[in-house]
Amino acid sequence: MAGERSGEDVVSEYLDQNPQLVQWVESLRGYFETNKQWTARREFILRNMEAFPTMEPGVPSSSLDKLLSLSMVWANHVFLGCSYPQAVMDKIKDMGEGIVVQDVPTHKTSSEIAMAKRKQRASAEADADHCTKRLKHGPSEQESRSAGQPASRTSSQKSGPPPQAPAEHQPFFNRLYKAVAWKLVSAGGFGPNLDHFEILRSCIESCKQTLTCVFVPLKDITGLPAGRTQKEGHVCEIRCQAVYMGTGYGRDESAAKAMASKEALKVFQGRKVTVKICRRRYKGKDVEDLMLLDEQPRNQGFPPALSYPFQDEQLEDGSS
């Protein structure tokens, strides 16, 4: 099929001529893919079948796995803006030559993202400096009057994530949901034998963010789930962009991190993920935390928080 004209009409014509491929190729579609994404990736697969002569449609093989993995990498690059080592980028560019995707999403470059982060950091530092001055000197008389309360009441702000935080973080986790779904499909689906941490880390980094892991010895944790009586081992908590994703227990930090990653990936097994503000325990206090949840009902409470990115000095003083 390589070298022929591109477009959905060519794919349809090719499948009309090879009807034995229709059911097989449609079985490769991920439930998360839109029509546009699947149409493009399907064309990528059909165009490059000739490059894997040992592959037989419908027969599991390493050649089929490689082709499907490359199709996922190509789709991630086109629709999500993910980047990979240069050798991989060169390969998928050659394999995708001639495939026309209408209204391709635009993605910011690394330098543009870095510049935006520098501006955001500078703005945050300026805001923090302004807040520090206000806390030191107190609000102006006009601010006190407009607030309708004494100046001493405005110097202490409520601890916790701001109400708009879930809406601000949701777009990123929607992108991460798609990246994780594609990664799991290319890995053969969610299962116990996967490197859950590596999958989660690579997906988050492909979305231009970093994973945060916090470790605490098990003996130092209070409020453990019922039945958790042993005192040896570690607990790991995973967050991204200050949003809680999962907690894991293990005999050492590596095992705890693996379990926390597995729990975090379980959240991505539903139809969507949602960022919400929920109540949980932190250092013996009930706090509002930012959490990533699926659509499954939960009968038990959440594990106690090991870290809390939203605390203020008042909470810290009360917990010491």
Token pair for residue 33?
A: 């893919």
164 three-class SS: coil
Residues 65 and 131 in one domain: no
For the chain (320 residues), the mean pLDDT of every run of 10, in chain order, is 55 85 88 85 89 85 89 88 87 88 67 63 60 47 41 48 93 90 80 88 90 87 57 88 92 92 90 91 89 78 86 46
Predicted model pTM:
0.51
288, part of any domain: yes
Residues 142 and 184 in one domain: no
Q: Are 180 and 210 in contact (CB under 8 A)?
A: no
Q: Supply the CATH number for residue 278's domain.
A: 3.30.160.20
**What pLDDT, on the 0 to 100 scale, is given for residue 302?**
83
H-helix or E-strand spanning residue 9:
helix 8-17
Q: Are 310 and 284 in contact (CB under 8 A)?
A: no
Residues 296 and 182 in one domain: yes
289, part of any domain: yes
297, part of any domain: yes
Number of domains in the chain: 3
**What pLDDT, on the 0 to 100 scale, is given for residue 290?**
95
Residues 25 and 137 in one domain: no
Residues 269 and 290 in one domain: yes
Residues 240 and 198 in one domain: yes
**What pLDDT, on the 0 to 100 scale, is given for residue 238?**
95
Q: What angle do CA 276, 182, 212 make, to 5 degrees?
A: 50
Residues 71 and 132 in one domain: no
104, part of any domain: no
Q: Are 245 and 239 in contact (CB under 8 A)?
A: yes
Q: What does the alpha-carbon distance between residue 272 and residue 38 come to, in Å, rounded to a whole number?
A: 19
317, part of any domain: no
150 three-class SS: coil
Q: What does the alpha-carbon distance between residue 158 and residue 312 come to, in Å, rounded to a whole number?
A: 8
181, part of any domain: yes
Q: What does the alpha-carbon distance between residue 280 and residue 258 come to, in Å, rounded to a whole number?
A: 23
Range of the domain at 267: 165-310
Residues 176 and 262 in one domain: yes
Q: Are 126 and 118 in contact (CB under 8 A)?
A: no
**What pLDDT, on the 0 to 100 scale, is given for residue 187?**
78
Residues 171 and 297 in one domain: yes
pLDDT digits (tens, 9 = 90+) for 117-138: 666 666 656 655 554 444 444 4
282, part of any domain: yes
Residues 149 and 169 in one domain: no
Q: Are 257 and 213 in contact (CB under 8 A)?
A: yes
pLDDT digits (tens, 9 = 90+) for 223-233: 555 555 556 78
Q: What does the alpha-carbon distance between residue 229 and residue 6 come to, in Å, rounded to a whole number?
A: 62
**What pLDDT, on the 0 to 100 scale, is given for residue 80?**
83
281, part of any domain: yes
Residues 191 and 279 in one domain: yes
Residues 287 and 306 in one domain: yes
